[in-house]
Amino acid sequence: MHIQWARSILENKGYQVPSNAPDVIQDNPWSTVYRFKTKQGYIFLKKIPPALSLEANIIKLLHSKFHANVPTIIADNPEFNCFLINDAGIQLHQYFKQHFNTEIFIKTMQAYAELQISVTTNTQQFFDLGVPDWRLEKIPSLYDDFIKQESLLLEDGLIKADLLKLKKLKLRLVFLCERLAAYNIKDTFGHADFHDKNILINPNTSQTTIIDLGEVVITHPFFSFQNCLHMARENFSLFDNQYNDLQLACFAPWLKIESQKSLFEILSIISQCWPIHAVLGEYRLMNSVEKSEFQKLRRQGRLSFKLRRWLDK
**% of the chain residues with pLDDT over 90:** 85
pLDDT of residue 290: 77
Cβ atoms 215, 190 nearer than 8 A: no
Q: Please determine, for residue 92, whether its predicted confidence score (pLDDT) is greater than 80.
A: yes
* C-alpha–C-alpha distance, residues 67 and 22, integer Å: 30
In the chain, what is the greatest distance between 2 CA atoms, to the nearest angstrom? 62
What domains appear along the chain, each with residue ranges and CATH number?
Answer: 2-86 (3.30.200.20), 90-311 (3.90.1200)
For residue 219, the SS3 value is strand
**% of the chain residues with pLDDT over 70:** 97
Q: Partners of 217 in the beta sheet?
A: 190
Q: Partners of 139 in the beta sheet?
A: none
How much is the average pLDDT of 205-227? 95
For residue 147, the SS3 value is helix
pLDDT of residue 295: 66
Give the model's confidence band at 256: pLDDT under 50 very low, under 70 low, under 90 confident, else very high: very high
* C-alpha–C-alpha distance, residues 33 and 16, integer Å: 20
Q: Partners of 191 in the beta sheet?
A: 216
* C-alpha–C-alpha distance, residues 271 and 278, integer Å: 11
